[in-house]
Structure 1
Amino acid sequence: MKVICQIYRSTRDSGMYLYCKKEDGLSKVPEALMQRFGRPEPAMVLALDEQRRLAHADIQKVLQALAEPGYYLQMPPAETLEAEAAAVREHNAKLS
């Protein structure tokens, strides 16, 4: 099964991406998630199938999510989240 997938980058969180079927666009993404995601920026279009390798996502999980519920949310790697949290803690400590 080949799926043409539009990938969107979050303007709010670096490393957060939404994968959607190109024909559906963002229509199946819940409004609450869109609020959290921020303004979506088109990042790339890929033809996905079971042989495709993705850098930060399991292709089987992506294809399953695209089938139902119609989108896949890729969160930033844990190292990125920890680095951002450390930077916030450091910034807050300087303000104290």
Structure 2
Amino acid sequence: MSDKHLISIYRSSKREGMYVFLPRETDPATLPASLMAYFGQPVHAMDLVLTPERRLARVSAADVLAAISDQGFYLQMPPKTVETSE
């Protein structure tokens, strides 16, 4: 069995910086209704080949693949903003 997975990434139409990762063959319309109400309309951002060793900007690829295996998708939340006082 291959460790390579073809993944589609969709960005949220409601929340900047929020993304959902799905197996390429999965229709985003099959995501839970509660998630879709919060996420909004999925907008296709890109496809990529994901392996457990691949480096991603904000999360471990192994964590993404584990979540997809467990629940069918991985939801990446926007980064927390840090307020600075000047």
User: Given that residues 6 and 25 in structure 1 are in contact (C-alpha distance below 8 angstroms), is that contact kept between their aligned partners in structure 2?
Assistant: no
Q: Map residues 67-82 of structure 1 onto 2, 5 A cutoff.
A: 67-79=69-81
More helix by share: 1
Aligned to 1:90: none
Output the aligned Cα RMSD. Answer: 1.4
Q: Could you tell me how far apart the structure 2 residues matched to 1:31 and 1:58 are?
A: 26
Q: Map residues 1-96 of structure 1 onto 2, 5 A cutoff.
A: 1-79=3-81
Write out the 4+ residue segments of structure 1 that deviate beyond 4 Å after TM superposition: none
Q: TM-score, normalised by structure 2?
A: 0.86
Query: What is the CA deviation profile of residues 49-94 of structure 1, one whole-angstrom value per residue up to 9, with x for unaligned ones?
Result: 0121110112111000111211000000111xx56xxxxxxxxxxx
Q: Could you tell me how far apart the structure 1 residues matched to 2:51 and 2:29 are?
A: 22
Count, aligned residues: 81
User: Given that residues 53 and 62 in structure 2 are in contact (C-alpha distance below 8 angstroms), is that contact kept between their aligned partners in structure 1?
Assistant: no
Q: Could you tell me how far apart the structure 2 residues matched to 1:28 and 1:61 are?
A: 21
Percent of pairs with identical residues: 41
Structure 1's unaligned 5+ residue stretches are: 84-96
The alpha carbon displacement at 1:25 in A equals: 2.6
- Tell me, what secondary structure is at the counterpart of 1:20? strand
Q: Max radius of gyration: which structure?
A: 1
Q: TM-score, normalised by structure 1?
A: 0.78
